[in-house]
Amino acid sequence: ANRARLGEAGACEAAVAALRAHAGYTGVVQRACAAVRSLASDDAANCRRLGECGGCEAVVGALLTHGANGNEGVDRAACVALEHLATNNAANRRRAVGAAGG
């Protein structure tokens, strides 16, 4: 119930905005990816919101940027966030694959 309320209050957009605005800061990126995962977990409406506001692209961008630097914390957080975004959501799967260059 709280997850849905957070989504309705703009938490999805805020997490994606944090990923974009602070893309160079590992700690912020890791925590924002964790927030995306939490918001997307078992919540179809939040998955849709996150996809529509660029969440898939932002998480893939974090993975490509920080993963290239060998940051395992960001790698793990981003991969789990993508798993939750893409599970049972074909549009988000397409967004993630497209953002990764596929």
**Which tens digit of pLDDT belongs to each residue from 76-87?**
999 999 999 999
**Which tens digit of pLDDT belongs to each residue from 4-56?**
999 999 999 999 999 999 998 999 999 999 999 999 999 999 999 999 999 99
Q: Which pLDDT does position 100 carry in this prediction?
A: 82
Q: How confident is the model at residue 102 (pLDDT cuts 50, 70, 90)?
A: confident
Q: Which pLDDT does position 25 carry in this prediction?
A: 92
User: Taking CA 64 as the corner, what is the angle to CA 61 and CA 66, rounded to the nearest 5 degrees?
Assistant: 100
Q: Is the dihedral of CA 60, 65, 68, 71 positive or negative?
A: negative
